[in-house]
Amino acid sequence: MSVTRYQWQPTTADIARAAGVEVSEVIRFDQNTSPFGTEWAREVVAAGVAALNEYPAADYRPLREAAAAACGLAPEQIVPGAGVDELVILCARAFLSPGSRAVAPVPTYSLYEIATAQVGAAFVPVAAAAPGFAFPADDIVAAARDADLVWLCAPNNPTGEQIRPDAVAAVVAACGGLVVIDAAYAEFAGDDWSPWIDRHDNVIVLRTLSKAYGLAAARVGLAMAHPAIIDILDGIRPPGSVSRLSAELAVDALGSPERMRRTVEAIVTERAVLADRLDALGLRVLPSAANFLLCEVGPEAHQVADALMRRALVVRTYPAGGPLADYLRFTVRTAPEHDRLVDTLEQILP
């Protein structure tokens, strides 16, 4: 099978080695993860250590119940996966096949196109126009009419745009197939797509513990949909792909929403501060409802990223020749980390 491969980011160990610094000095502004540590997880991990010889419960009942309570849904409307990434792959496997069509606005999260191609279906990109890359609502609605599946990322990675609910509603109404709303960053936008599940039986909402809940290493995602859809996804998920410890960490995280809310508050505050500072450096910063900022840097974007990387600061670049070649994406982190980023940018920007 010859399909585009997902591009793995360089590892922190590789970056540290190349920059000649300790791993702890590397700051990742490229992965949209939380900058906050997970000391709170110590107790959960310690309690789980005694049962590492056993598989997780096959039905993930405690995790489904915790997610249902957190999202105001029933456990039958939820299935967990090893991150949203596994759930994206499972949605493609379950609902697409050779001859079917999946639509998405582009630029967006690259895995939708890869997952679509992996099952031999056609990926239909609908371009969002530079320089704003606003959600191309009318074109998506038109393309959705004969789509088997529409991938929507809300807010969108990499633009950070919060897609308006009326635009999503128009897509859901037009689409004869399924609409997958990847809400990986929804907490930072104050969005809650979960109630859509009760209103529309062709909507799948994907949520993650990797971003606002700060548990990227645990690899836990949640798909939410009508029980009939959940049953199909449940039937093809790899057995036990969410580890026992990860499921327990997710239960704790979902049961402690105030911890997540503190993270979101801190990031939203810092997002505004960092946007102003990058703007003051002369970069064009797109408005963002997520935990990252997409900035137009200019034709030297890749050189700037390389220079940052040599100083152990990792930012997200986009392929030369593509619509975002001149852009860099920065994850919003903490004020001291932003000081290091901005000070370094001041030195290296042409």
Residues that bind ligand PLP (CB under 6 A): 32, 83-85, 109, 153, 157, 182, 184, 208, 210, 216, 221
As measured in angstroms, the least distance from the Cβ of 319 to ligand PLP is: 17
Q: How far apart are CA 62 and CA 279, in angstroms?
A: 45
> What residue has token string 């036990």?
240
As measured in angstroms, the least distance from the Cβ of 233 to ligand PLP is: 15
- Ranked by CB distance to ligand PLP, the top (closest) residue is 83
Residue whose CB is less far from ligand PLP, 34 or 208: 208
Burial of 42 (0-12, 13-18, 19+ CB in 10 A): exposed
Whole-angstrom CA distances from 187 to 162, 218, 302 are: 11, 18, 30
As measured in angstroms, the least distance from the Cβ of 289 to ligand PLP is: 13
Residue whose CB is less far from ligand PLP, 83 or 107: 83
What are 208's two structure tokens?
């993650």
Residue whose CB is less far from ligand PLP, 84 or 254: 84
Residue whose CB is less far from ligand PLP, 143 or 184: 184
As measured in angstroms, the least distance from the Cβ of 206 to ligand PLP is: 7
Residue whose CB is less far from ligand PLP, 96 or 153: 153
Residue whose CB is less far from ligand PLP, 298 or 323: 323
Residue whose CB is less far from ligand PLP, 144 or 186: 186
Residue whose CB is less far from ligand PLP, 161 or 344: 161
As measured in angstroms, the least distance from the Cβ of 245 to ligand PLP is: 16
Residues 78 and 72 sit within 8 Å (Cβ to Cβ): no
Residues in the chain, total: 350
Residue whose CB is less far from ligand PLP, 83 or 344: 83
- Print the SS3 string covering the chain: CCCCCCCCCCCHHHHHHHHCCCHHHCEECCCCCCCCCCHHHHHHHHHHHHHCCCCCCCCCHHHHHHHHHHHCCCHHHEEEECHHHHHHHHHHHHHCCCCCEEEEEECCCCHHHHHHHHCCCEEEEEECCCCCCCCCHHHHHHHHCCCCEEEEECCCCCCCCCCCHHHHHHHHHHCCCEEEEECCCHHHHCCCCCCHHHHCCCEEEEEECCCCCCCHHHCCEEEECCHHHHHHHHHHCCCCCCCHHHHHHHHHHHCCHHHHHHHHHHHHHHHHHHHHHHHHCCCEECCCCCCEEEEECCCCHHHHHHHHHHCCEECECCCCCCCCCCEEEEECCCHHHHHHHHHHHHHHCC
As measured in angstroms, the least distance from the Cβ of 286 to ligand PLP is: 16
As measured in angstroms, the least distance from the Cβ of 141 to ligand PLP is: 21
As measured in angstroms, the least distance from the Cβ of 310 to ligand PLP is: 24
As measured in angstroms, the least distance from the Cβ of 347 to ligand PLP is: 29
